[in-house]
Amino acid sequence: MRIVVLTGGIGGARFLLGVRAYAREVGAEVTAVVNVGDDLLLHGLKVCPDLDSVMYTLGGGADPERGWGRVGETWTVKSELAAYGAEPAWFGLGDKDIATHLVRTTMLNAGYPLSAVTAALATRWEPGLTLLPATDDRLETHVVVDGDQGQRAIHFQEWWVRYRADIPTHRFVFVGADTAKPAPGVLEAVGSADVVLIAPSNPVVSIAPILAVPGLRDAVTDGPAPVVGVSPIIGGAPVRGMADRCLAVLGVECSAAGVGGLYGGRSAGGLLDGWLVAPEDEGTLVPDASVRSAPLRMIDEAATAAMVRAALELV
């Protein structure tokens, strides 16, 4: 059995722990198609937060509280950069994390595509599944906000980390999406999948930038595999992160129904054959998708594997 997961963010990384546990139980192979919209160039280094969160989480190197960066991290370089007044000070790189960015940037500068770099980094971390960036091309989420001289676009990380999304916000723009191509292996994985799972990631800034890569959404909707999404919203609130702020920008209700409706039922031209919601959201309806409830708190791998099983039983 081949499982493909569209994923991003810290919740998405946690979800993959359960997908991997389930896959080991049933002997399935898993391919994670990971968001790259959060990526940024910082102090000359290419930082890929979602790819790194997934790689570190599955490799056992992630800080469990933060969900990003490394466990047992030190911040010597960060404080030295601050001593020089090197901007931006609002985005901190840990010393161990910097080694990842140095290797990645060196390989990218040598001409390797991001997918090859990701595979190379994964040989150390042994995530236990295939990690693919959604695209090898530049695709960056920028956010149009109110500046003091009218509207301006800032990088997603500035919006997310510096402003904590607490700034008048108009829309999200996926810079580079119009010319980006799916990374090698992505269309093949989706085309040969037995099921495509949409992780309980932020639908606006983690899943949408993946589906914005030309050809990727169609590969999912026109593909043979049933598509099941897991709601990132429980009882009207995101489990973590700021999906509520993001959905508000789109004018979408922050609810399991709102996000299910955003993805849409497949036979109505949307993505979903199935939509897994929490018991708190029992009775949620998504036109043309079958909805089921199951506990969605990813408290440990076994709980998350049970979510995966419930999602797969939907189709």
**Residues at the contact surface with ligand FO1, assessed by CB under 6 A:** 9-10, 38, 47, 49-50, 52-53, 68-69, 91-93, 97, 157, 160-161
Using alpha carbons, select from 215, 184, 210 the residue that is nearest to residue 199. 210
The nearest distance, CB 226 to ligand FO1, in angstroms, is 27
* Nearest CB to ligand FO1, comparing residues 61 and 226: 61
The nearest distance, CB 97 to ligand FO1, in angstroms, is 6
Query: Which tokens go with 75?
Result: 């911040």
Phi-psi region of 202 (alpha: psi -120 to 50; beta: other; left: phi over 0): beta
* Nearest CB to ligand FO1, comparing residues 22 and 159: 159
3-state secondary structure 138-164: CCEEEEEEEEECEEEEEEHHHHHHHCC
The nearest distance, CB 131 to ligand FO1, in angstroms, is 14
* Nearest CB to ligand FO1, comparing residues 91 and 263: 91
The nearest distance, CB 156 to ligand FO1, in angstroms, is 7
* Nearest CB to ligand FO1, comparing residues 70 and 273: 70
The nearest distance, CB 243 to ligand FO1, in angstroms, is 11
The nearest distance, CB 172 to ligand FO1, in angstroms, is 13
Contact 39, 9 (CB under 8 A): no
* Nearest CB to ligand FO1, comparing residues 80 and 288: 80
* Nearest CB to ligand FO1, comparing residues 9 and 127: 9
Relative orientation angle of helices 114-125 and 49-59, to the nearest 10 degrees:
20
* Nearest CB to ligand FO1, comparing residues 56 and 275: 56
CA-CA distance, 212 to 177, in Å (whole number)?
Answer: 6
The nearest distance, CB 100 to ligand FO1, in angstroms, is 9
Relative orientation angle of helices 9-26 and 49-59, to the nearest 10 degrees:
40
Q: Which secondary structure element, helix H or strand E, spans residue 129, and what is its range?
A: none
* Nearest CB to ligand FO1, comparing residues 93 and 186: 93
Q: How many CA atoms lie within 13 A of 67 on its CB side?
A: 14
The nearest distance, CB 7 to ligand FO1, in angstroms, is 11
Query: Which tokens go with 254?
Result: 């922050």
CA-CA distance, 223 to 240, in Å (whole number)?
Answer: 31
**3-state SS class at 43:** coil
Largest CA distance in the chain: 57
CA-CA distance, 2 to 30, in Å (whole number)?
Answer: 6
